[in-house]
Structure 1
Amino acid sequence: MLLKNKNYPLDGVFVKRVSYIAIPMMLQQLITNSVNLVDNIMVGQLGSYAISGVAAANRFFMLGLAAIMGVSNGAAVYLAQFYGGKQYKRVQESFRLSIVAVMLLILPLVFFSILFPDLIIRFFNKDPGLLAPGREYLPIVGVALIPQCLSFSMQSAMRALGDTRRPLQISIVTVLTNVFFNYVLIFGHFGFPRLEVTGAALGTLIARIVELICSILLICNVKYCFATKVRDLFKIPRILIREVVKRSLPLTINELLYGSAMALLFKLYATRGTDVMAAMTILGTNSDLFFIIFSGMTAATFVVVSQPLGANELDEARANGYCMIKFSALISLFFAGLMFLSSFVVPEFYRVAPEIKSMAAILVRISAAFFLIYTVNVQCFYTMRSGGDTKRSMIMDSGYFWLVNIPAVATAAYLTDWSIYAVFLIGQFVDVIKMFLALYLVQKEGWVKNVTVAVDVSDLEEEPGEDMISA
């Protein structure tokens, strides 16, 4: 089995290098997720209807963010490999493509959230008590998606180059802004009006605008090799569009399918009642504190796997890919222990019924027991994605989720009277089978390739013409 393979041993140099890249990214994600926890606790003070309504709205936004992640990460694969091959002109073009594609994808979602908030909330739960908070929250946070997704693309490019420290600095400013405005606008402190759920949405919008401004200023001041002028934003070679779309489309479809599956999964769990929705929201926010391992590993994978692939150092990339899976599995045990311990503390911060707190605590402990499985599955996905093996990664990720996870949980939810714990466990057990499939697909080594060779790598400046998309 790959995890026991002695041909790719972990050494101190590799661990140090990965830690140097991953730790700042984990800290950034920890700060962000900690603020999400604080935000949820603040909203939780308004009652279970408020927290459930906001949770339903956020599940909808996960679909849009999933598509953005697919496009940005697909472009980042090329960006990292071009950077590894010192093809800086192509690095710029990959970044431009990411920004343009993100805007095209996000605008329909923004309009839908503004025009049809009630329809979105009713999809998850028809309880009329959820409509009012959802109606207040959805349109404002929908607008916040625009700066949020642009910032995500910019910071994704920074991380693809191996810079995880500056995005961390931006994150600190963003979360402090978010906490401050949520605190004063939700509860009406320092002379501000008490806006409750609307205040939470406005705090998010203000924080995302600040994040975008900081990202733009940082790119202008540091002069990253991917920095581009606004007037050049649409100057993207057609061949690059074709190749990036070829690799990114499966990723984007995968993220959309995965995001929609997660939204449907939330709906299936919600068949057990509004209290379960509140408990699942607490579980999700708490789990995010420990899923920071994934953000750190994806940043490191871009550097230690994608960049060597772009430089045609295939043996180094192969060894690093396998070592990343081993390293991720090892540190996941530490995070699993912390997650288990958190189940005794975090639910107590919410002003909800005792039975909801107890339910959330048990669900957190179940998730902690399967944390190693989650981590191996995710790292296998990152490894395959790093070399552009997006079709196999889609089969392993969203394909498996729709073909196995969803039918299994739906059967338990609709055809039995089992408790939420039994229904939840069904969804976790099928991930064990998925792990063996993921490890098998990684060892097929379809990801050990330089995807940039299909793109014209001439360093000559190209004038806008028949081979170029130009404004």
Structure 2
Amino acid sequence: MAKKLSLFALTWPIFIELTLHMLTGNADTFMLSHYTDEAVAAVGVANQLLFMVVVMFGFIATGTSILIAQYAGANDEKTASYIGATSIWANLLFGVVLSVALWIGSDYLLQVMNVPNELMADARAYLWIVGGFSFVQALIMTLGAILRSYGFTRDMMNITIGVNILNIIGNYFVLFGPFGLPVLGVEGVAWSTTISRMIGLVIGFLLIMKRLPYPLPLLSKEAFSFAYVKQLLKIGIPSAGEHVAYNTSQLVITYFITMLGTEALTTRVYTQNIMMFIFLFSVAIGQGTQIIVGHLVGAQRFDEAYARCLKSLRLAVIISFTAAALFSLFSDQLFSIFTSNKWMIETGGTLILLTMLLEPGRSFNLVIINSLRAAGDVKFPVYIGVASMWGISIPLAYLLGISFDLGLVGIWLAFAADEWIRGLLVYWRWKSNVWRTKSFVKKEATA
């Protein structure tokens, strides 16, 4: 299986899929910015909480992608199919529980986030609807993990294209009210997002049934095996732990930004929407590399896996720096798409300039951490992530951004310090070759 996989063939559909995800997020922000800047800020804060939920779904989805890639690389398709079936049921149950929790606890969560009163109603409506149906996203993530692990990255790209088109059309109807239709604002955008995802989920299931070499035994007793759930969580929880550390640290830093005011909060949302187009190159390369490394490790081809990671890292660093430089040159024009506020445009331009320092460091993390996970070395990135994000990023963001009154610029400098420190540490870990002893398939075979 690994022989059939190439980085380019895997990465370009992932890149397009990620680009479309970013375009959808930008389309939501762009359309809402023509509604009100306050709506942009409200949805931005709600999405910070929803990102945390998506990370929780990653407990299962990440374990699924690693295990299926390793077992497929070892040509054990039957076990891979059992793991896929188990992961679907596990994330469905987990998704329903978290959906109910978000619906019930939305007010409390938004109050904890220190959401201004003028944003509360819109943030609550968005969180109720998108959060209440977040189990749909849990299933989409699981199906995506299964398809990508077998190399079917184009299928997820096509699903994303369809979902994004439906979402943009839906946003147009609910925000601009053509043909005399009512303008529904943030609530309408939330329903547009949810309904388009539901349609994507149905298509995802149809593709799973068509593509896989061994049908998913969803109603077999193995699909409900606690042993497989344990395997998924054994890898998935530590793997997702690094994401949890990142997103919880981002929640804390978002709280700091609310102390700077609504303009700063909105600028952060606009800047992140633009930055996503810069680092998605590294994200795509990291995900494509993870699939290949997982297959190679499952086949016990460690030297090839080692070289693949380092080649991908060099490519990601070069591309991310170049993209950051280009976006910095045109930052005024990019921010002008979203707002006419001069302070937001000027501050956002400075933040984009700082991404030339930040993004190469982020590339180390996106590529090497994905490779470490694929090899089964899932705990080390968590330890480093928690220590750096909570020991460096948060204190430094408060010190520079709030105490030294540097605002968003100080917070961006803290982000860069965190990315580079973590990046160099995981680079040392990969070079140490400790990950060669962590292969899950190898352990099972010799048990």
Contact 1:239 1:455 in 2 (8 A): no
How many residue pairs get aligned? The number is 443
Match of 2:427 in 1: 439
- Superposition deviation, residue 320 in structure 1: 1.7
Instruction: Tell me which moved more, 384-393 or 338-347.
Output: 338-347
2:55 equivalent to 1:69: no
Match of 1:338 in 2: 326
- Superposition deviation, residue 387 in structure 1: 0.6
Instruction: Tell me which moved more, 279-288 or 96-105.
Output: 96-105
Q: 1:422 to 1:249 in 2, by over 3 A?
A: closer
Contact 1:143 1:205 in 2 (8 A): no
- Superposition deviation, residue 454 in structure 1: 3.0
Residue type of the partner of 1:175? N
Equivalent runs, 1:65-464 vs 2, <5 Å: 65-222=54-211, 224-225=212-213, 227-232=215-220, 235-351=223-339, 353-449=341-437, 450-455=439-444
Q: 1:126 to 1:292 in 2, by over 3 A?
A: closer
Q: CA offsets, 1:77-118, max 9 Å, x none?
A: 110010011101111122123223322332232123222322
Contact 2:126 2:187 in 1 (8 A): yes
Distance 1:403 1:137 in 2: 32
Contact 1:186 1:195 in 2 (8 A): yes
Q: 1:219 to 1:134 in 2, by over 3 A?
A: same
Q: CA offsets, 1:317-365, max 9 Å, x none?
A: 2222222222222322332233324422221122453222322222122
Q: TM-score, normalised by structure 1?
A: 0.88
Residue type of the partner of 1:309? V
Matched position secondary structure for 1:190: helix
Instruction: Tell me which moved more, 92-101 or 153-162.
Output: 92-101
Matched position secondary structure for 2:128: helix
Matched position secondary structure for 2:432: coil
Contact 1:93 1:236 in 2 (8 A): no
- Superposition deviation, residue 233 in structure 1: 7.2
Distance 2:210 2:422 in 1: 45
Unaligned runs of 5+ in 2: none
Instruction: Tell me which moved more, 406-415 or 87-96.
Output: 406-415
Contact 1:254 1:397 in 2 (8 A): yes
Instruction: Tell me which moved more, 357-366 or 426-435.
Output: 426-435
Distance 1:66 1:338 in 2: 30
Contact 1:76 1:94 in 2 (8 A): no
Q: 1:455 to 1:372 in 2, by over 3 A?
A: same
Distance 1:106 1:26 in 2: 26
Q: Percent identity?
A: 20
Distance 1:196 1:221 in 2: 38
Distance 1:235 1:213 in 2: 20
Contact 1:305 1:320 in 2 (8 A): yes
Q: TM-score, normalised by structure 2?
A: 0.93
Unaligned runs of 5+ in 1: 1-13, 459-471
Distance 1:162 1:225 in 2: 12
Q: CA offsets, 1:162-187, max 9 Å, x none?
A: 12111111111110000000110122
Contact 1:147 1:211 in 2 (8 A): no
Matched position secondary structure for 1:447: helix
- Superposition deviation, residue 407 in structure 1: 1.7
Q: 1:332 to 1:412 in 2, by over 3 A?
A: closer
Residue type of the partner of 1:419? G
Distance 2:435 2:398 in 1: 33
2:45 equivalent to 1:56: yes
Distance 2:241 2:397 in 1: 22
Distance 2:236 2:304 in 1: 24
Residue type of the partner of 1:418? L
Q: 1:307 to 1:405 in 2, by over 3 A?
A: same
Distance 1:234 1:258 in 2: 34
When the two chains are superposed, the root-mean-square deviation of aligned CA atoms in Å is 2.2
Distance 1:133 1:242 in 2: 39
Q: 1 or 2, which has the higher helix percentage?
A: 2
- Superposition deviation, residue 129 in structure 1: 0.4
Distance 1:179 1:226 in 2: 36
